[in-house]
Structure 1
Amino acid sequence: MRLRCISWGREEASGDTRWNFYWGHEILTVSLSMVRSDTRSGRPGWIHWKLEEMDLPFNLEDKREEILTALKEALTVYKDGGIYSMSTDFKVILDV
């Protein structure tokens, strides 16, 4: 499983993001909007995401819950900046 941010909105759409989520042998495109966050360098942080869209192939519909659990785990590892994150601990809330 891998997660890659492919776009991050600007100005009024600054919380709108698109991601490539590699799950199994599939590449899924996921759109998320940031609801709220609290991130500070050297401290625990959190982000509340809302799932806007997920391009899920028909053959994976029965795996939807498993994929969403893996997506939340990947977002938690990504924290607030991937390898550049300075948060000490991190929590993700994902609304579907």
Structure 2
Amino acid sequence: MPFLNEFIPAADVEKYDLKAINAKFVVGRTNARDWTVDRDRDIYLRNVATGAGAEPELRNQTTWTFYWHGELLTLRLDLLDASGGPGEPGWSHWKLVWLNGSSGLPLHLEQFRGQIIGDLREALTAYQGSGVYSADYSEYSITLEIGEECVL
């Protein structure tokens, strides 16, 4: 089954202990109630914090949890640009600024680096810029840039 955007079912809130994860973000909580999930591969992508402020460089800074085969990774992704509307092709350009606070992947996952980044690209493509709130695009693509400062 491919990635899909959905509101998180109560059973999955329990299964993935999302209440405990939520407590770590946005001054003790996050309002993230939806995700992009591939249940068959046990992977989810969830936006847990978005920057605040009028300046695009601040409000486009986002923090995500990326659960990959039993491992919870924390990412900072900056949305550099996006375009598209209902019925049109849509796209977004993301920059991976850090992974696990720039400490990178745990040692036991380093051999899967390419697969993890590939799965992240796939999840961001399915997310379509807004997850369950995305427009009904005719097609969607993403560019994922890895920042110089990002340790993988």
Question: TM range, normalised to the smaller chain?
Answer: over 0.9
Aligned residues, how many? 96
SS in 1 for 2:119: helix
Which protein is bigger by CA-based radius of gyration?
2
- The structure in which a higher percent of residues are strand is 1
Structure 2 alignment gaps of length 5 or more: 1-42, 147-152
SS in 1 for 2:88: coil
CA 1:23–1:70: 2 relative to 1, 3 Å? same
SS in 2 for 1:67: helix
Query: 1:36: Cα distance to partner?
Result: 1.3
Query: 1:94: Cα distance to partner?
Result: 0.2
Task: Tell whether the 8 Å contact from 1:79 to 1:87 is kept in structure 2 after alignment.
Answer: no
Task: Tell whether the 8 Å contact from 1:29 to 1:54 is kept in structure 2 after alignment.
Answer: yes
Partner of 2:144: 94
Match of 1:6 among 48, 54, 70: 48
| Displacement over 6 Å in runs of 4+ | none
SS in 2 for 1:50: strand
Which amino acid letter does the alignment assign opposite residue 17 of structure 1? T
Q: Which has the higher contact order (CA 8 A, sep 6+)?
A: 1
Match of 1:36 among 65, 77, 81: 81
Task: Tell whether the 8 Å contact from 1:45 to 1:87 is kept in structure 2 after alignment.
Answer: no
**TM-score, length-scaled by structure 2:** 0.60
Structure 1 alignment gaps of length 5 or more: none
Match of 2:96 among 51, 55, 58: 51
Partner of 1:18: 63
**TM-score, length-scaled by structure 1:** 0.92
